[in-house]
Amino acid sequence: MTAQLASTHAELKAARGTSGPVGVVMTMGALHEGHAELIHCARQEVGRKGLVIVTDFVNPTQFGEAEDFARYPRTLDHDLELSGVAGADLVYAPSVEEMYGSIDLADLSDQVMINPGSLGTILEGASRPGHFQGMLTVVSKLLHLTDPDLAFYGEKDYQQLVLIKAMVRSLCIPVSVIGVPTVREEDGLAMSSRNRFLTKHERACAIAIPRAIEVAAEVAAQDGALAAERAGHAVLADHPEIQLDYLVVTSPELGPPTLGEGRVLAAAKLGTVRLIDNLPCVIGGGG
What would the pLDDT profile of 100-135 be if each residue is shown by its tens digit? 998 887 787 788 999 999 999 999 999 999 999 999
- The lowest-confidence range among 14-23, 119-128, 226-235 is 14-23
Which H or E element spans position 280?
strand 273-283
pTM for this predicted structure: 0.95
What integer pLDDT is reported at residue 225 of this predicted model? 97
Taking residues 126-152, what's their average pLDDT?
96
Confidence of residue 1 (pLDDT cuts 50, 70, 90): confident
What integer pLDDT is reported at residue 286 of this predicted model? 58
Task: Kindly report, residue by residue over 49-89, the tens digit of the pLDDT.
Answer: 999 999 999 999 998 776 778 888 899 999 999 999 999 99
Task: Specify if 187 maps to a domain.
Answer: no
Taking residues 31-36, what's their average pLDDT?
96
Helices 158-170 + 131-146 axis angle, to 10: 60
Asked whether 175 and 149 are in contact (CB, 8 A), the reply is yes
Asked whether 161 and 179 are in contact (CB, 8 A), the reply is yes
Asked whether 189 and 195 are in contact (CB, 8 A), the reply is yes
Residues 52 and 135 in one domain: yes
What integer pLDDT is reported at residue 66 of this predicted model? 63
What integer pLDDT is reported at residue 42 of this predicted model? 98
Per annotation, catalytic residue among 32, 35, 131, 239: 35
Q: Using CA atoms, how far apart are residues 210 and 219, in angstroms rounded to an integer?
A: 14
Taking residues 43-54, what's their average pLDDT?
96
Task: Specify if 188 maps to a domain.
Answer: no
Residue 226's domain comprises 193-282
Q: Hey, which residues does 70 pair with through a beta bridge?
A: none
Whether the pLDDT of residue 24 is over 80: the answer is: yes
Q: What is the CATH number of the domain that holds 260?
A: 3.30.1300.10
Whether the pLDDT of residue 150 is over 80: the answer is: yes
Q: β-strands 242-250, 90-92: how paired?
A: unpaired
Which H or E element spans position 200?
helix 200-206
Q: Using CA atoms, how far apart are residues 7 and 98, in angstroms rounded to an integer?
A: 8
Q: Using CA atoms, how far apart are residues 198 and 32, in angstroms rounded to an integer?
A: 16
Domain count, the chain: 2
Task: Specify if 287 maps to a domain.
Answer: no
Q: Hey, which residues does 172 pair with through a beta bridge?
A: none
Mark whether 35 is an active-site residue. yes
Domain end: 180, 210, 229, which one? Answer: 180
Residues 174 and 218 in one domain: no
